[in-house]
Amino acid sequence: MATPSLVGKTLQSLRNLPPDSPTRSLFAVSVTKTAAHFQVVLVESDGSDGLRLRTLAFGLQTANAVQEILFFKATKSVTQLIKRSAAVTVNTTVLSAVREQIAQKLANRVDDKVAGLDVD
């Protein structure tokens, strides 16, 4: 299976980045009893007036089933690897022109989300 190799190579490449690299990394990890998710986002200059965002997302989903018939017991485990990737280029000139409108729209949504949080 080539996918674990891809994950290993991706992690090794991130580990080998020089500390002063223009590439930035952000990691997000989520784990439950039946699933684990791992996401890597790389942001780099596209060489002109923009930024390139590359996302690699991996998920492991597992399911266990136990079936008992009389005194026989059968266990079945299934694990599935899900992978997705995407790349987006952001034109920083256009972003600068609409930055305030985007910030205002996001602020309204964030205010609603924060108001709905129960932090007691």
Asked if the structure places residue 100 within a domain, the reply is: no
Residue-number span of the structural domain to which 66 is assigned: 3-91
Asked if the structure places residue 71 within a domain, the reply is: yes
Number of domains within the chain: 1
Q: For the chain, give the secondary structure using H, E and C.
A: CCHHHHHHHHHHHHHCCCCCCCCEEEEEEEECCCEEEEEEEEEEECCCCEEEEEEEEEEEEEEEEEEEECCEEEEEEEEEEEEEEEEEEEEHHHHHHHHHHHHHHHHHHHHHHHHCCCCC
Asked if the structure places residue 15 within a domain, the reply is: yes
Q: What is the pLDDT of residue 67?
A: 74
Asked if the structure places residue 119 within a domain, the reply is: no
For residues 80-100, average pLDDT:
89
How much of the chain, in percent, has pLDDT values that exceed 90?
8
Pick 89 or 64 by higher pLDDT: 89
Asked if the structure places residue 114 within a domain, the reply is: no
Asked if the structure places residue 87 within a domain, the reply is: yes
Asked if the structure places residue 8 within a domain, the reply is: yes
Asked if the structure places residue 70 within a domain, the reply is: yes
